[in-house]
Structure 1
Amino acid sequence: MTSRIQRRTMLGLLAAGAAAPALGACAKGGHASDPTVSTASTAQVGSGGPDMLMIIRHAEKPTGSGAPYGVTDAGEKDDKSLTIQGWSRAGALIGLFDPRDGDGHPAPPRPGLARPTRIFAADPSSGGSKRPKETVTPLAAALGTSLDLRFAKGQEAALAAALRSASGPTLVAWEHQSVAAIIAHLGPVTPKPPASWPGSRFDVVYVFNRHGDGWNFSQVPQLLLAGDSPHPIA
């Protein structure tokens, strides 16, 4: 059991690849305190659960031509990849979406979330951003599931069609400018989500719970890294 816990811990650390030394410097700022674990239903603890769609923006990216730079999981500079802080968030998402107790057993996810049974990310193969895929790759490895990369940026209508027919908890990692396009093709959503996703926010989960032919919308702050906001997007 100890080796299992150690393996899961290493998944988060390995998310930064050769950039791991820089992660140590990032950690000096400290992470936000872990939220209290919920006493959620058993359905949320396992791989099942209600029809829930969770959408996250990819993790932190370069803001210009200078530092912080994007780096691949091998530590090579790449402006289409995550920054060191972004890789830190990618690793931390394991604890958010696949929490474990001290013995390595599945623990209840935070209230409002569920352990995903499938994960979609924007396909970067045509030269697009690698960040959505990189953001959820460590989580997919921890869950032992494959990423669904059938859709690329610009194919939000087709993605939404697949999401409407999906069952169980589903997670999507996408570029923030195009999240509204996904929502627009989901069907009726109540209450109305924000019109746009602010460029400065990487720390929120949009949650859609199926209700009849539509969805109930809510937001869950991630609270994973220092500086994460406890407030939803207005």
Structure 2
Amino acid sequence: MTTKIILLRHAEKPSADGTVGGVDASGRPNDDDLSVRGWQRAGALARFFAPGGGSLGVPRALYASRPTAEHPSRRAVSTLQPLARWLGLPLNQSFTCGQEPALTQALATDEGVTLVAWDHRGLCRIAQALVGAAAPDHWPAGCFDRYWIFSRDADGWRLAPQPQQLLDGDD
């Protein structure tokens, strides 16, 4: 049974004004991927969630939204790829943006700590499926340095928003 679900937004993306571009893992320009700072965050998250890295527990399941023609962003996948490699875990990309209800059902069947990277709009739908009206109704558009922890107890899920505090300038 899942004891903890951690939701985080994918790491930093290219800027809307074009001054900061995206790059793929090889450094080639790709605006559907992370910015350089986003890749730095992905690496920092890998260290944070690896054994001995933080107090939240080591994830036993990793989920990221699968890119599609309608939503071609690779940012959620790129955010968790370094951690998946580090832990030797598969990165579950069975769900796409818009399939949050099905994803939430799958999350409840995992064991231990589960980590999810997603688009900021879908994070609220996942949270609402877990805790109902107690969930935030939005994730700030420019916020990449927080995560939401959902812990299970006898009464259901409890939400605790937290700052990541991984990179210089984080909240």
TM-score by length of structure 2 reads: 0.92
Partners of 1:58 and 1:135 within 8 A in 2: yes
Task: Provide the rounded CA distance (Å) in 2 between the counterparts of 1:145 and 1:224.
Answer: 22
Query: In structure 2, what residue type is equivalent to 1:198?
Result: P
- CA drift at 1:184: 2.0
Match of 1:215 in 2: 157
Which one has more relative contact order, counting CA pairs under 8 Å at least 6 apart?
Answer: 2
**2:103 partner SS:** helix
Per-residue CA deviations over 1:148-199 (Å, capped at 9, x if unaligned) read: 000000100100110122221000000001111112222x469x23221101
Partners of 2:7 and 2:117 within 8 A in 1: yes
Task: Provide the rounded CA distance (Å) in 2 between the counterparts of 1:93 and 1:124.
Answer: 21
Please tell me whether Structure 1 or Structure 2 has the larger radius of gyration of its CA atoms: 1
- CA drift at 1:108: 6.1
Task: Provide the rounded CA distance (Å) in 2 between the counterparts of 1:158 and 1:114.
Answer: 25
* Equivalent residues, number: 170
Task: Provide the rounded CA distance (Å) in 1 between the counterparts of 2:165 and 2:155.
Answer: 31
Residues 116 and 73 of structure 1: CA distance in aligned 2, closer, same or farther (over 3 Å):
same
Per-residue CA deviations over 1:11-51 (Å, capped at 9, x if unaligned) read: xxxxxxxxxxxxxxxxxxxxxxxxxxxxxxxxxxxxxx971
Partners of 2:2 and 2:107 within 8 A in 1: no
TM-score by length of structure 1 reads: 0.68
Query: In structure 2, what residue type is equivalent to 1:167?
Result: E
- Taking only aligned residues, the RMSD between alpha carbons, in angstroms, comes to 1.9
Match of 1:145 in 2: 89
Note the 1:1-234 alignment, pairs <5 A: 51-98=3-50, 106-107=51-52, 109-110=54-55, 113-126=56-69, 127-186=71-130, 188=131, 192-212=134-154, 214-229=156-171
Segments of structure 2 that go 5 or more residues without pairing to the other structure are none
Task: Provide the rounded CA distance (Å) in 1 between the counterparts of 2:52 and 2:80.
Answer: 19
